[in-house]
Structure 1
Amino acid sequence: MTALTATAAPAGRPALRPGGLLWAVLRLHRTALVLWGLALFAAAAFLVRLAALADEAERGSGACAIPAHDGLPSCAAVDAITADEAYSTGIALVTGALAFLIFPVAAWAGGVLIGRELENGTAQWAWAQSVSPTRWLAAKLAVPAALLAAGTSAVVLLGAWARGEDNPNLVGDWYHPDVFVGTGPTAVAHALAGLALGALAGMLFARALPAAGAALTASLVLFNLLERHREDLWPTVTRDKAGWEVPRSAMQVSSTQTQVSVHPRSHFWPLQYVESGILLALAAVAVLTAFRLLRRRTV
């Protein structure tokens, strides 16, 4: 009884002080925090290294001649350059990790952040102290949301810098699913949506494994729906086929005998903003629903 009294937070204690609710969340999930920090550090260091390779990779992916003439390098010399392959593989690895971040986040949020604590009674113990259920859930979501938003944004910005001239031969076309998601604000929105879906699944099932599975399934459905209907999120540009060829920089959506509809490169940002807005709206609905379920559970 003495131990419980010693760990209880006194009334009126600021939540941000050591021993407060937010500090307790950080301590409880310190393993995930450390792993997230290490992942961010590794990604940042890797992107800095890739940025240093960008110029050499551009030379390796450019045109060549046999023998060298008209300003073109010798193909024998170009063949010896392997920086382009290392660079493109590295960029694809980081971009893919950002694009699919929603899945591990959703599973962790459902299984560990919420589900496990409801299952083993940790949450109920906190509610019996000076922490209200609403404050408990708010802190549970605020801390990882802030860390996910800040960390993912930093990696996206570093990735944009490391992509250099954005040569599609090296970094992929902007409309490829993983490139699109992993190179803009949509990456952050996907991560936050995964967190919200995980929290909702945790409140629904109150058990770690079912909540993790449900959150992973929901995020997979959401990811695939957005990928399938991404081209419909913004009006396309229609051109007559006669005398016009679809450039590589444009995403072709539909084609008839006379006309073709595309998303030009300039549609990248409108599509990013619309998809991010959809994801954040769904995240808000999921969070509000989780709070309602919490109130029902604690009435």
Structure 2
Amino acid sequence: MTTLTHDPAPTPSDARPSRKGPRFGGPVWLVWRQHRAAFWTLLALTLLTALAMVYLRGQLTDHLAASPQKSLPPDIEKYTNRLYSVGNYLGYAPILVGVLIGAPLIAGDLESGTVKLVAAQSVSRLRWLTTKLAMPAALIALSTTALGAVLTWWWNPIRNRTDNLGWASGGFDVTGIMPAAYALLTFTVGAAIGMLLRRTLVSMVVTLGTVVAIGYIWDQFRLNLGHVLSVTTDKGVGPDARRPELPAGALELDPSTSFLTDSGARLDWTTCLDKMENIRAHTSCLESKHVIGYAADYLPASQMQPMQWLGAAVMLTATAAVVTFIIVWGRKRLL
């Protein structure tokens, strides 16, 4: 007689072994599933851009090391132009984040009816809204912070030795903490607009206009974050008179130098402008108004980082206000 042996029948736990590692569930899984293409694209672009900047910085430092002179090599412009171009491209990141990620975030769910499906589940609106905002915001903050740090690292070897990527214009918004704060603001603004308009394409168009308007206002406001310093002369005016000398890297707020009187008052550069055709008449006119020299206002380069932190605080405060609006409005009027 032959005895047959059989393995014991598999139990449910044997048939479906438990997975190891973290697993998404609930709203987290839903948000990741909905936007995984955008999330992976964002992470891939961040990685590729960061690697490209690391490579270009290596070329820059190698070129500087090969130059025996302490001053910048004559052909350094080729390398600094690359830095300037990449900085300009990164300046568009807040617009792209607001339009392509922020605007469709909630508007897409409202337009497709996904919100009604979520509301029918046991998940509260507060939890869904919080997850919906937190996941993209975390990835945006991670990506923009990384890019800002790498660009700052690339810029540092020539930071105080060239005017390319000037600190008060091109470099201010794309280095340090500013890229993350700026992108988070435009992202939440786009999400709020999408929630109100409830149509994806319309929300993207309106977000584009709103973000451009925010950028314009920010450009006008940014320099007010610094503490203005002044430099004056008191040796007269005229073609041979000494003009105010600014520290290296300083930003002159008004390129048209104003005039300084013996009482310490300032006169606009248009003073005696009608006498400009005759140098002697122009000088005599200024002397009759007790002008003794020139005056110039400027912001030193050392104020860049404090201004960035203050500007980031302003933007993050505005971001928090927009997030509060989204949650309050969404909990009551989302459906």
Q: TM-score, normalised by structure 2?
A: 0.73
Report what 1:184 is aligned to: 176
- How do 1:199-214 residues align onto structure 2 when only pairs under 5 Å count? 199-214=191-206
Structure that is richer in helix per residue: 1
2:42 to 36, 58, 65: 36
Report what 2:55 is aligned to: 49
Q: In the alignment, does 2:162 pair up with 1:172? A: no
Q: TM-score, normalised by structure 1?
A: 0.81
Report what 1:9 is aligned to: none
Give the number of the structure whose alpha-carbon radius of gyration is greater. Answer: 2
Distance, in Å, in 2 between the alignment partners of 1:38 and 1:50 is 18
- How do 1:12-161 residues align onto structure 2 when only pairs under 5 Å count? 17-58=23-64, 84-161=76-153
Q: What is the CA distance between 1:251 and its match in structure 2? A: 0.9
Q: Give the secondary structure class of the aligned counterpart of 1:260.
A: strand
2:258 to 256, 259, 270: 256
Q: What is the CA distance between 1:90 and its match in structure 2? A: 2.9
What letter corresponds to residue 286 of structure 1 in structure 2?
V
1:270 to 278, 300, 306: 306
Q: What is the CA distance between 1:175 and its match in structure 2? A: 1.4
Q: In the alignment, does 2:322 pair up with 1:286? A: yes
Distance, in Å, in 1 between the alignment partners of 2:187 and 2:131 is 13
What letter corresponds to residue 281 of structure 1 in structure 2?
T
Deviations 1:190-239 (A, max 9, x none): 00001110111011101101211222222111111111121112220112
Q: In the alignment, does 2:155 pair up with 1:163? A: yes
Report what 2:275 is aligned to: none
2:331 to 268, 283, 295: 295
Bigger Cα displacement from structure 2, 223-232 vs 163-172? 163-172
Distance, in Å, in 2 between the alignment partners of 1:44 and 1:163 is 13
The 1:105–1:266 alpha-carbon spacing in structure 2 relative to 1, beyond 3 Å, is: same
The 1:266–1:49 alpha-carbon spacing in structure 2 relative to 1, beyond 3 Å, is: same
Distance, in Å, in 2 between the alignment partners of 1:248 and 1:123 is 56
Q: Give the secondary structure class of the aligned counterpart of 1:261.
A: strand
What letter corresponds to residue 194 of structure 2 in structure 1?
G
Q: What is the CA distance between 1:59 and its match in structure 2? A: 6.8
What letter corresponds to residue 227 of structure 1 in structure 2?
D
What letter corresponds to residue 309 of structure 2 in structure 1?
Y
Q: What is the CA distance between 1:130 and its match in structure 2? A: 2.1
Bigger Cα displacement from structure 2, 95-104 vs 144-153? 95-104
RMSD: 2.4
Deviations 1:149-179 (A, max 9, x none): 1111111111222224134537422112x32
The 1:241–1:200 alpha-carbon spacing in structure 2 relative to 1, beyond 3 Å, is: farther
Bigger Cα displacement from structure 2, 236-245 vs 179-188? 236-245
Distance, in Å, in 2 between the alignment partners of 1:239 and 1:216 is 41
Unaligned runs of 5+ in 1: 1-15, 63-70
Distance, in Å, in 2 between the alignment partners of 1:239 and 1:225 is 28
- Residues 140 and 184 in structure 2, CA contact (< 8 A), matched pair in contact too: yes
Distance, in Å, in 2 between the alignment partners of 1:47 and 1:270 is 25
Distance, in Å, in 2 between the alignment partners of 1:241 and 1:22 is 64
Distance, in Å, in 1 between the alignment partners of 2:69 and 2:176 is 35
Distance, in Å, in 1 between the alignment partners of 2:142 and 2:188 is 16
Q: Give the secondary structure class of the aligned counterpart of 2:231.
A: strand
- Residues 87 and 170 in structure 1, CA contact (< 8 A), matched pair in contact too: no
Distance, in Å, in 2 between the alignment partners of 1:49 and 1:124 is 48
- Residues 103 and 194 in structure 1, CA contact (< 8 A), matched pair in contact too: yes
Deviations 1:12-48 (A, max 9, x none): xxxx742331122112111101111111111111011
- Residues 54 and 163 in structure 1, CA contact (< 8 A), matched pair in contact too: no
- Residues 113 and 199 in structure 1, CA contact (< 8 A), matched pair in contact too: yes
Distance, in Å, in 2 between the alignment partners of 1:249 and 1:199 is 39
What letter corresponds to residue 211 of structure 1 in structure 2?
S
